[in-house]
Amino acid sequence: MIQSLDKDVADLKVSNRDLLKEMDSCRERESKMLTLQSELSKANAMLRSENTNLSNKASTLSSEVDRMKTEVQQLHQQVKELTETLEAQNTKHKENTEHLVLSLSQKTKESSDFKQKWEDEMDNSKTLKRRHANNIKDLTRQLQQARRKLEAHDGKGDGGSMGSRTNSNGSLNSVDNSQQQQHQQQQHNHHQQAPPLTSPQEFPVITEQVEVDKNVLIERIVRLQKSHARKNEKLEFLGEHIQQLLVEIKKKTKIIQTYALREEAGTLSSDDMDAHKELINKTYKTLLAKKGGIMASMYSVHQQDGSMTLDLSLQINKKLQAVLEDTLLKNITLKENLDTLGEEIARLSQENRRLQLHLQDLEKRSS
């Protein structure tokens, strides 16, 4: 009986030693699991922080893209308005030019007609002058003939002289009558030609009127050219403003592509931010260790709570692993969203480039 009890005691001691060994191994496994749990918690905290940063970046980029879309729409509207204004101005300038060309052709035709009339009147005046000169020559010749006849009859007697004087007086009277008739004929011709001769006097007035119309046309053309120059200056100013906006968009696009699309997640955080994160984690762990409980056991190497078991630790590890996988999935989704935003920004840049080329074409057409 005693031997059997001793044997049982020996078996129990062996079993106790085995249990102690198994307990030590379980404790080691538990400490390893707690260490792994602590590392996973650190990784989870870092991933959450990175997830928050990426979410903030994504929201910032989304707002930036929305703002760029709004600017592009505004640029589209400005280009449309400028195109319509330019077309209206071109149509108006074309109509004004056609009207001015038609008016100028009419004035030129009138000027040529007046010039032809003036030349005709000048020819008539020259003809009248020649006719008057010929009449004066005829009168002078007749007067000389009458004087010679009077000198021929001066040597005769009194009777003959009286007859000759009578004849001379008759001839003189005939000469005077002929002179009077010629003078009346000249006056009659002059009165008949007087109305046409008034036109050369009126022609300078008409010429002056035409010159006034030409001056008005020239002033109007100058005003139109000044207005066109102001429009061109306005177009140049708008073009420079659009160029500045495009340069800013390109700069922001390059910044986004350089610092958000090509860098790995978490590399944009500064050293101060990392140190701040570590300080927060240490403070959080210290508070949990002071308060105790399951989370204190998870964030410390030694067990802080008696209710912490291996199954509970494994269950918590599984949940943390699921949270970690979910965080990684969210990070992948955010990365895809960033790629999509990059493609959208590239498309907007191409559209801005197309608008810039279209604006340059409009400026070339307007010039």
Residue 136 counted as domain residue: no
Which pLDDT belongs to residue 30? 87
Spatial neighbors of 106 by CB under 8 A, at least 6 apart, are: none
Q: What was the pLDDT predicted at 171? A: 44
Query: What is the distance between the alpha carbons of residues 66 and 267, in angstroms, rounded to a whole number?
Result: 26
Residue 50: partners with Cβ closer than 8 Å, 6 or more residues away:
265, 266, 269, 331
Q: Quote the CA–CA distance of 299 and 280 in Å, as a whole number.
A: 13
Residue 143 lies in a domain: no
Q: Give the total number of structural domains in the chain.
A: 1
Q: Is residue 185 part of a domain?
A: no
pLDDT at 204 (0 to 100): 38
Contact by Cβ (8 Å): 90, 367: no
Contact between 34 and 297 under an 8 Å Cβ cutoff? The reply is yes
In a domain, 330, yes or no: yes
Name the stretches of the chain with pLDDT < 70.
Answer: 1, 155-214, 217, 251-310, 366-367
pTM: predicted TM-score of the whole model, two decimal places: 0.28
Q: Are 350 and 67 in contact (CB under 8 A)?
A: no
- Residue 69 falls inside a structural domain: yes
The one-letter amino acid code at 59 reads: S
- Rounded Cα distance between 73 and 135, Å, is 91
Quick: pLDDT tens for 70-97: 888 888 888 888 888 888 888 888 888 8
Whether residue 13 lies inside any domain: the answer is: no
pLDDT of 288? 54
Instruction: Provide the residue range defining the domain that includes 335.
Output: 33-116+204-366
Tell whether 169 is covered by a domain. no
Q: Give residue for tokens 């007609």.
A: 113
Q: Is residue 100 part of a domain?
A: yes
Summarised one tens digit per residue, pLDDT across range 267-317 is 545 566 566 666 666 665 666 555 555 555 555 545 555 555 667 777 777
